[in-house]
């Protein structure tokens, strides 16, 4: 019996990822399923390459910069964007 591994994962360049997410509010993707808190949200600043994938830099609360793999983040939903917008600074 042979197994078909399926299509290879989509490859995206840092420039294409940056264009697709420029100006968007992003949120850390939590594996434990907990609800995001304000500190989990950031504005995408830049995207670079890493031997294991894409590396994103974002500006978090208090102008703190953080770096993480692109697989660890996602676009904030419309409801999350609205919730984040009304949070006290």
pLDDT 10s digits, 43-69: 999 999 988 889 999 999 889 999 999
Angstrom distance (rounded) from CA 50 to CA 17: 13
d(CA 70, CA 61): 19
Please state which CATH number belongs to domain 16-85.
Answer: 2.30.30
- Burial label for 62, CB within 10 Å (0-12, 13-18, 19+), is exposed
Residue 34's pLDDT band, with cuts at 50, 70 and 90, is confident
Gap between the Cα atoms of 56 and 49, Å rounded: 9
| Three-state DSSP state, 28 | strand
């Amino acid at each position: 019996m042979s197994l078909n591994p399926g299509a290879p994962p989509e490859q995206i360049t840092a420039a294409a990822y940056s264009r697709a997410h420029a100006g968007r509010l992003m949120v850390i993707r939590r594996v434990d399923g907990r609800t995001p808190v304000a500190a989990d949200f950031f504005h995408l600043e830049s995207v670079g390459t890493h031997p294991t994938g894409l590396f994103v830099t974002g500006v978090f609360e208090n102008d703190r910069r953080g770096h993480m793999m692109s697989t660890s983040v996602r676009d904030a939903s419309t409801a999350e964007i609205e919730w984040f917008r009304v949070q006290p600074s």
